[in-house]
Amino acid sequence: MSTYMAKANEIEKKWYIIDAAGKPLGRVAAQAATILRGKHRPEYTPGVDCGEYVIIINAKDAVLTGNKLLQKKWYRHTGYIGHLKEVSYKDLMEQRPEKAMELAVTGMIPHNSLGRKELKKLRIYADDKHEHAAQSPIEWTREF
């Protein structure tokens, strides 16, 4: 008996929609990362893109527990000497909640070519409007 190895062209991809309203940002990101990787499927193969598409709505309504809203910061560097920028998550969640969710999901995906390919299947929206009705997304109700 040999081990089953999935092939990327044999896997049927579905679209899932996750509502982040009132849920912790990290929990939603973990669920999205699991779906993007395909770890919820029985035919999961680590080196193959078995993941499915994910739409996250209401990213502005996701919550950060504890003092993360005030103490957590997002750092980025422009490339120039002394140009390290820092933004608190309070400001980030007010101005760009999609970016905060994207950073959380990106940290949970492998940092290689397969991870970059999987991240292209992620769509994040600040409110409940999205333009993927034609794909008939399925509501993700399972909690991990």
Q: What is the pTM of this model?
A: 0.92
6-26 tens-digit pLDDT: 998 899 999 999 999 999 999
Cα–Cα separations (whole angstroms), residue 86 to 46, 73, 74, 106? 35, 6, 6, 18
Domain locations in the chain? 15-63+94-139
Q: Which residues are CB-contacts of 83 (< 8 A; sequence separation ≥ 6)?
A: 77
DSSP structure string for 95-123: H-HHHHHHHHHHTTS-SSHHHHHHHTTEE
CATH architecture assignment, domain 15-63+94-139: Alpha-Beta Complex (3.90)
CA distances from 6 to 37, 66, 121, 135 (A): 13, 41, 19, 24
Tens of pLDDT along the chain (144 residues) come to: 788 899 988 999 999 999 999 999 999 999 999 999 999 999 999 999 999 999 999 999 999 999 999 999 999 999 999 999 999 999 999 999 999 999 999 999 999 999 999 999 999 999 999 999 999 999 998 875
